[in-house]
Amino acid sequence: MQPEKLARMANQIATFFKSQPAAEAPAGVANHINKFWEPRMRRELFAIIDAGGEGLEPLVIEASKQINRPAPMAAAN
């Protein structure tokens, strides 16, 4: 998936949860991503975050502390 599309999707989730109390919003974003995003998508999200988080809403960055980070892909032999 293209990084821009993935960032847009994560930001849309964050926009929805901005209407929740500030203390609950990061957990809401993280729970949604943990439940509905497959490991490949979460791996790509963390690649964006690890590269500086360009294009991501601050709420997504904050929520990333609670998002399950998948194991790296095994290298092909």
CB-count exposure of residue 7 (10 Å: 0-12, 13-18, 19+): buried
- Contact by Cβ (8 Å): 18, 40: no
Report whether 57 contacts 15 (CB < 8 A): yes
**Domain assignment present for 77:** no
Per-residue pLDDT, 76: 55
Which range marks the domain in which residue 43 is found?
A: 3-66
31-45 pLDDT, tens per residue?
999 999 999 999 999
Residue 34, domain member (yes or no): yes
Residue 72 lies in a domain: no
What pLDDT does 75 receive? 59
- Residue 25 forms part of a structural domain: yes
Question: Is 62 inside any structural domain?
Answer: yes
Quote the number of domains for the chain.
1
The runs of H, that is alpha helices, within the chain are 3-17, 25-36, 39-50, 58-63
Query: Does residue 53 form part of some domain?
Result: yes
Instruction: Tell me, yes or no, whether 11 lies in a domain.
Output: yes
